[in-house]
Structure 1
């Protein structure tokens, strides 16, 4: 049983690296199997189709991301404002770096699979909703610990911040520089400090 689990995880890890670099549609099954060093039968033992593999890949990513999110946004030794900015600074560092494997799959695949796969879209939507809810919770915590002003609608603020960073990631992918992320970080600080936030 452990060997079967290891094989499944190996296929997912290999797929994660390939998809992060080439996108979901840019990775063929033969390339995945060759890189993973597993036969086609092993793939179909764990995944009934490429779409099922894509859903499992995103499920695995979202689960790991949630753990990372807890470590960053749930740090007990930092006020809420510092935790929010640390999260977005981490986003900037990962997305603007050359290590494609560190890039967020939610950012990478959202536009690509939205119309392609209802199952993958559902996983992504669920993952994004969880991230936004966690960000909104930290905004509320900031009002309690005094590091942030009380915002009238933390959920809306969190949604706006996430949308700003998605846009910055798309612009950063085009420009291949950090300027979009720098602008997003400036806008984030202004919004959470209630400067220009309605």
Structure 2
């Protein structure tokens, strides 16, 4: 039975995300995506004009899904600091092993695609800004409830996000969770 158009498009994106989370953007060719998805090549071009447009769609969908997943963690009845610590604990749980499911595409594809495509870089910039804004909202809540000591929520949110991106990269390099442990200790210190 043939899948409806939007389901087929989602299926292609889901298959590609799993492949690219493991191998990277340039290492995965369209033939591999289509063969794994069980989709003829002509069908791909029905949904996407190019691999670049496909990459944009993949990243946009990733950010929408990721933000929907983390918003409830950051927007809780708990204090701002507690919500942030829960978010970063979630980060550790989803990024510490080799499972593909919830891996961060910013860490995996960021440097690679920013050098290849300006439009994909812009998608990454908009998506990461949305994440930083959510973190900043929790910091603002923490300032209000007294659980976070800072006067600049955006600067702290950017610093925390960059810290955790770096920790994710170093965890891959070292094949260890120690970078996450260090990032968590620094996060607690920065939150005050």
TM-score range, shorter chain: over 0.9
Identify the residue that residue 17 of structure 2 maps to in structure 1.
Answer: 16
2:106 aligned with 1:72: no
After TM superposition, the structure 1 = structure 2 runs for residues 41-190 of structure 1, keeping only pairs within 5 Å, are 41-75=42-76, 77-149=77-149, 151-190=150-189
The answer to whether the 8 A contact 1:73-1:84 is kept is yes
Distance in 1, Cα, partners of 2:151 & 2:102: 34
**Shift, 1:22, TM fit:** 0.5
Stretch moving more, 88-97 or 32-41? 88-97
Distance in 1, Cα, partners of 2:98 & 2:114: 25
**Shift, 1:157, TM fit:** 0.7
Matched pairs, number: 191
Distance in 1, Cα, partners of 2:5 & 2:140: 43
Distance in 1, Cα, partners of 2:182 & 2:160: 12
> What's the TM-score once normalised by structure 2's chain length?
0.96
Identify the residue that residue 26 of structure 1 maps to in structure 2.
Answer: 27
Distance in 1, Cα, partners of 2:21 & 2:168: 14
Secondary structure of 2:101's counterpart equals helix
Distance in 2, Cα, partners of 1:112 & 1:95: 19
Q: Once superposed, what is the RMSD of the aligned Cα atoms?
A: 1.3
Specify every segment of 5 or more residues in structure 1 that has no aligned partner in the other structure, as ranges. Answer: 194-198
The answer to whether the 8 A contact 1:47-1:53 is kept is yes
Distance in 2, Cα, partners of 1:100 & 1:65: 14
> What's the TM-score once normalised by structure 1's chain length?
0.93
**Shift, 1:147, TM fit:** 2.0
Stretch moving more, 54-63 or 85-94? 85-94
Distance in 2, Cα, partners of 1:21 & 1:11: 16
**Shift, 1:71, TM fit:** 1.2
Distance in 2, Cα, partners of 1:25 & 1:96: 24
**Shift, 1:148, TM fit:** 2.0
Stretch moving more, 89-98 or 49-58? 89-98
The answer to whether the 8 A contact 1:16-1:101 is kept is no
